[in-house]
A and B are shown apart, each in its own frame.
Chain A
């Protein structure tokens, strides 16, 4: 049981390049989330998927798109990367909507945009 896995672990992009961050969970959770973590700001929610087939914007969605490919997988896409998107990205999942979000986190993806 791997929990929440993320790929890649590290990535360097040039401004304007695109990339997709992958996330998968094997806990049969309904809800999945993407956060970014910046120094001194804690984690901020980018997008979430309450259940398979639905996605919603979080606090900082601009510049990102998401796809809930199936119940296990939730990807985050940067269409045209900007230096302001340099951050650590965390994927998380939770079992049941409506129970206050006991979320389980992946190990993170460190992204540097030059």
Chain B
């Protein structure tokens, strides 16, 4: 069965600093990969996704993620964090041959210091 690990439960960065959130997955083949963001009291919003092709994908709000097959990783990055980026971030995977069943990581809560 596939699994997703987000090793960092909490991360605090200063506003304007760079950010990297880690995501590792366990799956036999290359799955579809996603990052979602959840602001307090809200549902999840898709930031970006990777299906195939260029391993560096751009998303909304200035985020990007890089798929590294050799490391089974799909880390999320942002060069300069804004206070409004404070939220919880979820990495998720889906099998590339079975449609829509997403498996989520436990989430990383991002705090931004002024």
Contacts and interface: CB of A to CB of B under 8 A. Distances in A.
Interface of A: 4, 31, 33, 40-45, 48, 50, 58, 90, 92, 94, 97-108
Contact of B32 (A45, A90, A100): A100
Interface of B: 4, 9, 31-32, 34, 36, 41-46, 49, 51, 90, 92, 94-96, 99-107
B99 A4 contact: no
Contacts of A43: 44, 90, 92, 102, 104
A102 B44 contact: no
B99 A97 contact: yes
A48 B43 CA distance: 18
A4 B43 contact: yes
B107 A33 contact: no
Contact of B100 (A31, A42, A108): A31
27 contacts: A4-B43, A31-B99, A40-B107, A42-B106, A42-B107, A43-B90, A44-B104, A48-B100, A50-B100, A90-B43, A90-B44, A92-B44, A97-B100, A98-B99, A99-B51, A99-B99, A99-B100, A100-B31, A100-B49, A100-B51, A100-B96, A101-B99, A103-B102, A104-B46, A105-B45, A107-B43, A108-B42
A31 B94 CA distance: 14
Given A101-B94, A102-B49, A104-B46, A45 B99 contact: no
Contacts of A100: 31-32, 49, 51, 94-96, 99-100
Contacts, number: 73
A90 B41 CA distance: 12
Contacts of B99: 31, 50, 97-101
Nearest to B42: A107
B104 A42 contact: yes
B102 A106 contact: no
Given A40-B106, A42-B107, A43-B90, A101 B43 contact: no
Contacts of B9: 40
A2 B17 CA distance: 35
B88 to A, nearest CB: 10
B90 A33 contact: no
